[in-house]
Structure 1
Amino acid sequence: MKINRHLAALSLTIGCLFTPLSTRAGSQHADHQHADHQHAVTEIKAGPNGGRLIRTVEPHAEFFVKPDRYAQITFLDADGQIAAPSGQVVSLVGGDRSNPIKVSFAAVDGLLRSASPLPDQPNIPIILSIKSTSDAKTVRERFYLNQSICGGCDYEEYACTCGH
């Protein structure tokens, strides 16, 4: 009998503690409609050349691998238009950890182009380091360079926009 009272008191206490949390969570959405936005859904876009869009750096950049296996970095302004590089320093490390490849980039025709082609391997781990200015903190973007074609969005897997 005493145990039943303790359990009842405990369940009432727990119920009282969590009731304000559950009503508050439901009321977050009572003050607006969802027609103009979705929560926790990020729209994934490809870059202007069909490459991987890197939004962790300003200005945003696109990583794209050309058919000749050279990588190119294209910077984009606030409107998503191509902007010439202005002092950014980009480097790439990838491949096997025991024998990584290191690639630097140089400005060519209003974009940054890799100094050497990337190896022709099916799924290369990539660490792309971008420094926007000489005094800025280096931003690192990590991904796998998988160049097979995605069945959902028709981009290469490293630039996939369907979010699978």
Structure 2
Amino acid sequence: MAQVSMTVNGKAASGDVEGRTLLVQFLRENLHLTGTHVGCDTSQCGACVVHVNGQAVKACTMLAAEAEGAEIRTIEGMANADGSLNTVQQAFQDHHGLQCGFCTPGMVMSASALLAENPNPTEAEIRAYLEGNICRCTGYHNIVKAIMAAAGQDVSKIAAE
């Protein structure tokens, strides 16, 4: 067992972990932040995306020990200070960018990272960026529309699918 310490959603967090403990396990099991989902355990689905030092990372591919000293942001830390939805979350709600909700935390985290890197992405850039996130329900159209809306783009002419 080893002690790991990091900052998660602005708060100091630490715990004892085995060397093989994945970051997603530490977040869910030790810190009880269950918004970060485990969908595949093989880095294919993107349901476990979190931000590590500002970068989108699949938490099922990173050991908790590798996050020592890091700044971690999970879906639980995405809301505004007053508890209201942030711009990306609100856009997902407004534009029906979710159905069952299983992939939504990872999608929101990936979308936020994309918009931090590219504040005005095209539809093609959004679709390319989301290639590591799988959604079985929405068909992606409304997810893309939500991200474009979060970027402040006019989506009124995009046909419903």
- TM-score over 0.5 for the pair: no
TM-score bucket of the superposed structures, by smaller chain: under 0.3
By relative contact order (CA 8 Å, sep 6+), the higher-ranking structure is 2
* Larger Rg over CA atoms: 1
Q: Which has the higher helix share?
A: 2
